[in-house]
Amino acid sequence: MPAMPHRVVALCLDGLVAFDLTAPAQAFGLAAHPSGEPLYEFSTCSVGGEEVRTTSGFGVSPAAGLGALRRAETVVVPAYAAILAPPPEEALAALRAAHRRGARVLSVCTGAFALAHAGLLDGRRAATHWIGVDPLQREYPAVRVDRNAIFVCDGNVWTSAGVTTGIDMALAIVEQDHGRALADAVAAYLVLYLRRPGFQSQFSAALVAQIETSDPLGAAIAWARAHLEQVDVERFARHAGMSLRTLHRRCLDRLATTPAKLLDKLRVEHARSLLATSDLALKPLAAHCGFGNPARMNRAFERELGMSPRAYRIMHAT
């Protein structure tokens, strides 16, 4: 006879981002025994069991009050709007109590701020939406914010980056609990193009979001990503329709980096994926990403990630 479903409870805070609640709920809800019996029981709670507003303009009425967290085996905190203001103390106390008794605690997107307010991220590595990376690090210097990951597992605390990464994190948890075959089956049902591992970067997504569609810099960055093997600063400037001096100034103003460093960041992002998902030797991999040689790639990795490409592959290769 199948075991009782694993109890997952989402703590809904006012200003809830609805997608960050429903996406993991869908992923967990699709995981089932071969007999069809569900492996997870997903429910919701809020302070006082009261309805919470969502950023989409409608309300969500949770099924229970904070007492539901006392029986949760996994607690999910979706993103919410007022991230710099601490949630009600009774909600933070309930999170701390759940963590103390061994519950797995997850945050989706800026839900990481609630975990930080509760003190659950102190001394831990954590991820959040790219817009929250700097505020989280500034407000909570004891947290090791990883801007280079879409989700992070540190002990029994999981944090994910922006919005859709909550699905990636939920699938990784299904894989940890029940194996890759089931996680892949759930991903297929969700019609996901691919399952993204936690090491994948938010860097390019952040760039796209920061640049207006009318700005030729955005189109030039997209072109550079597709032509890393041959792009250099001069070609980048020509494709953007700018002089070298104008391109340098625009990159500093819009992205707080130089064109050369920007291209190196794009190359590191692409190289990370290849290191983790292929057995390509370092020399051809460096050439494919536009570094020219492994020594230059090594310097870029040390500068961006604090480790060598070889060490990165050992940590993340599948």
Q: Which of 154, 189, 224 is the last residue of a domain?
A: 189
Number of domains the chain contains: 2
Residue 121 shares a structural domain with residue 159: yes
Q: List pLDDT tens digits, range 27-77.
A: 999 999 988 899 999 999 999 999 999 999 999 999 899 999 999 999 999
pLDDT digits (tens, 9 = 90+) for 301-311: 988 877 889 98
What SS3 string covers the chain?
CCCCCEEEEEECCCCECHHHHHHHHHHHHHCECCCCCECEEEEEECHHHCCEEECCCCEECCCECHHHHHHCCEEEECCECCCCCCCCHHHHHHHHHHHHCCCEEEECHHHHHHHHHCCCCCCCEECCCHHHHHHHHHHCCCCEECCCCCEEEECCEEEECCCCHHHHHHHHHHHHHHCHHHHHHHHHHCCCCCCCCCCCCCHHHHHHHHCCCCCHHHHHHHHHHHCCCCCCHHHHHHHHCCCHHHHHHHHHHHHCCCHHHHHHHHHHHHHHHHHHHCCCCHHHHHHHCCCCCHHHHHHHHHHHHCCCHHHHHHHHCC
Q: Establish if 194 belongs to a structural domain.
A: no
198 occurs within a structural domain:
no
Instruction: For residue 258, give the CATH number of its domain.
Output: 1.10.10.60
Same domain, 218 and 165: no
**pLDDT, tens digit, for every residue of 122-161?**
999 999 988 898 999 999 999 999 887 788 899 999 999 8
Same domain, 249 and 172: no
Give the residue numbers spanning the domain of 27.
6-189
Tokens of 301: 């990795």
Tokens of 280: 């390509």
Both 116 and 258 in one domain: the answer is no
d(CA 183, CA 203): 26
Residues 235 and 138 in one domain: no
Confidence of residue 112 (pLDDT cuts 50, 70, 90): very high
Name the band, by pLDDT with cuts 50, 70 and 90, for residue 2.
low
pTM of the model: 0.68
Rounded CA Rg of the chain: 21
Residue 196 lies in a domain: no
155 in the same domain as 267? no
Q: Would you state the structure tokens that stand for residue 246, as one six-digit string?
A: 């104008």
